[in-house]
Amino acid sequence: MPLIIDQQPVQQDSWTYLASEEGVAPDLSSVADSSDLLVDWSCFQQCKEQLLGRSGGLGVRIDGFANLDELSCDLDQLSLVAIEFPSFADGRGFSQARLLRDSLGFAGQIRAVGDVTWDRLRFMHRCGFDAMEVSEDRYSEDMLKAFGEIEVRLQGAADDPRPIYRQ
């Protein structure tokens, strides 16, 4: 899938995604200890100690149901939080990103995955996302224009906390 980081296309993703099956922890021995590893929330919960002991970067993939309070105590050890957008109608990921950036002070990469579309890229960026995975059939170089489409912003957000009268 094409990846946009900091509003620029990236040719190669350094992260390896390892998903767990229902109730079964994945085999971590197949992944090099120094590689950047992205795991789903259930894998993180099952193998937390082993994952935190690795030397490579660690990321967690969550959905809109994830309780950020459970994740907050380990945020300083994470380099990436990927937030799933299962459909266009599900906007919980925007709130999750905003809470991660503003309330919990997460400074690592926040990546949008799933149903990522042109018309939401700018809003994702304003909420704190700095990376977006776009499906192959929806991606084009023109998508990058989405970040500049909205020039006037009334409210403060993660990208610029100042309201319009302070800008």
Task: Place 25 in a pLDDT band, splitting at 50, 70 and 90.
Answer: low
* φ, ψ at 88 (rounded to 5°): -60, -35
5 near 131, Cβ under 8 Å?
yes
Counted domains in the chain: 1
Mean of the pLDDT values across residues 48-54?
A: 88
Choose among 139, 87, 100, 97: nearest CA to 118: 139
Residue 144: predicted pLDDT: 80
How many other CB atoms sit within 10 Å of the CB of residue 124? 26
Q: For residue range 135-151, what is the model confidence (pLDDT) as tens digits?
A: 988 888 888 887 777 66
User: Residue 152 above 70 pLDDT?
Assistant: no
User: Residue 37 above 90 pLDDT?
Assistant: yes
Q: Write down the residue that tokens 């967690």 correspond to.
A: 60
57 near 36, Cβ under 8 Å?
yes
Q: Write down the residue that tokens 């459909």 correspond to.
A: 87
Distance of alpha carbon 30 from alpha carbon 98, whole angstroms: 34
Task: Place 5 in a pLDDT band, splitting at 50, 70 and 90.
Answer: very high
Range of the domain at 121: 3-166
Tell how strand 3-5 and strand 8-10 pair up. antiparallel
The CATH number linked to 24 is 3.20.20
Question: Which pTM does this prediction carry?
Answer: 0.85
The CA R_g of the chain, rounded to the nearest whole Å, is 16
